Structure 1
Amino acid sequence: MNVVIFGLGQQSTPIWYMLTYDSPYRVVGFTVDEAYRTTNIFRGLPLVSFEGVEEYFPPHAHRMFVPLGWKRMNGLRAEKFTQGKAKGYSFISYISSRALIWSSLQIGENCIIQDGVIVEPFARIGHNCNLRSGCMIADHAIISDHCFIGAWAVVAGGAVIGERCVLGLNSTVCDGIKVASGCFIGMGAVVTTDTEKNGVYVGVPARRCA
């Protein structure tokens, strides 16, 4: 299956490498907003304007991947995912061969599961989520759409992470806890109680600071 990648940033180059050497997909090109396109070639492949990408890479013959980070609380990645869907694209998800998952995993489109990630049975992952290396999603946990789970973060059994959340490096969400949408959980924080929407939580135990 031919794939076009959105973006030229820090996330895009490793994903190009992973898809090339650790997936059944064939990367055939890149796309960015015209305002950021300063060349026609990237990694030896065509680089085209996102505004007209469907003319160069027709949706019926190509899938798309948007491997952006958590900029604007995942808002930029969500925006490009939505725009790509409006253009008629289906999106792939990448699961590293070095991740530990089960065949029954429910996972949405445009997700990244990197090396060393563990996802236990009965966990669910929504659309457009980025799970960084070494994080752990326990049984019956739910990761909602447009989330970013940092390296070595732990989401314990039955916990629910709302839409557009960011969990920092080595953070922990304890069993059964509900993290409301739009929350930022700081590096190393341990969340022991339910959170409120759009909050910033830091510390052990985590407390809202913004």
Structure 2
Amino acid sequence: MRDRSVIIGAGTQGQIYASYLLEAGIDIVGFIDDNPSLFGKKVVGVPVIGCYSDLFTSRFKENIQAVYCPIGDNHIRVEYLTELHKEGYKIPSFIHPSVSIGPDVTLGKAIYMLVGNIVMPHTTLGNYIMINQASTIAHHVIVEDGTFMSSGVNVGAGIRVCEKTYIGMGVTVMTGVKSLGKNCLLGAGSVIIKDVPENAVMVGNPGRVLKYQKNDYNVQCKP
């Protein structure tokens, strides 16, 4: 019997994943979304069946086995999936069949990868990672938990992408860079030629520090 699954977030990312998950034959019974105006409605043909707090109720636990959370905010995605896994839900990965993954790549849990990505050998992907389409990760790279990569990203060889890094569309990280610091953000189109500090927002070609983000996130998971 297939697991009855839900997708958290009925926005554009959730809609995209709904299309691919349904195409893959996964039993998606509904969206979970905290926008009350969506309750009882269908989004891309999938009903919105409740809000996040509902997932902690016995009614949902008895009828839902698996949760997907393709939310682009790294902090929310990690917190939600961590908490729901503790609650007993399965948190499967979804990797589109077009993705090319080297034979000895190490994969964590709850990894979401869309069309046309390439991951070269001797690379490690952690947990709760999202990678949009047509991105390339070279060999001997370590991608830590909760990272997001947008479309058309190119990450060179031997780089450590630290926890909750956010990499914008079309970013290139050159081989020779050693690390992208925890919770950093790389703006769209940036070319990164040196190590990125923790919490830094980098933009431009070559990439430069624009500012530093606050690291004071306090996501409330349970109702």
**Distance change in 2, residues 1:6/1:204 (3 Å):** same
Tell me what 1:130 maps to.
Answer: 130
Distance in 1 separating the partners of 2:53 and 2:67: 14
Tell me what 2:53 maps to.
Answer: 51
Residue 79 of structure 1, CA deviation: 2.3
Q: Secondary structure at the match of 1:11?
A: helix
Tell me what 1:206 maps to.
Answer: 207
Distance in 2 separating the partners of 1:44 and 1:209: 41
Correspondent of 2:22 among 3, 20, 23: 20
- CA displacement, residues 80-110 of structure 1 (integer Å, 9 cap, x when unaligned): 2222123221211111111111343322222
**Distance change in 2, residues 1:122/1:87 (3 Å):** same
**Distance change in 2, residues 1:38/1:46 (3 Å):** closer
The range that moved more, 96-105 or 45-54, is 45-54
Q: Secondary structure at the match of 1:182?
A: coil
Structure 2 gaps of 5+ residues are 212-223
Q: Is the 8 A contact 1:59 1:89 kept in 2?
A: no
Q: Is the 8 A contact 1:4 1:57 kept in 2?
A: no
2:98 counterpart of 1:98: yes
**Distance change in 2, residues 1:27/1:105 (3 Å):** farther
Tell me what 2:67 maps to.
Answer: 64
Q: Which amino acid aligns with 1:187?
A: A
The range that moved more, 140-149 or 58-67, is 58-67
Tell me what 2:191 maps to.
Answer: 190
Distance in 1 separating the partners of 2:197 and 2:119: 26
Tell me what 1:142 maps to.
Answer: 142
Residue 44 of structure 1, CA deviation: 4.2
Residue 206 of structure 1, CA deviation: 1.0
**Distance change in 2, residues 1:141/1:36 (3 Å):** farther
Identity %: 25
Q: Secondary structure at the match of 1:209?
A: strand
Distance in 1 separating the partners of 2:190 and 2:62: 42
Q: Secondary structure at the match of 2:101?
A: coil
**Distance change in 2, residues 1:183/1:111 (3 Å):** same
Tell me what 2:220 maps to.
Answer: none
- CA displacement, residues 110-162 of structure 1 (integer Å, 9 cap, x when unaligned): 22111110011111111111111110011111111111111111111111111
- TM-score when normalising by structure 2: 0.84
Distance in 1 separating the partners of 2:62 and 2:199: 35
Instruction: Give structure 1 regions of 4+ aligned residues with deviation exceeding 4 angstroms.
Output: none
- TM-score when normalising by structure 1: 0.88
Distance in 1 separating the partners of 2:39 and 2:62: 23
Q: Secondary structure at the match of 1:92?
A: coil
Residue 4 of structure 1, CA deviation: 1.4
**Distance change in 2, residues 1:80/1:118 (3 Å):** same
2:156 counterpart of 1:156: yes
Distance in 1 separating the partners of 2:113 and 2:21: 12
2:8 counterpart of 1:6: yes
Q: Which amino acid aligns with 2:51?
A: S
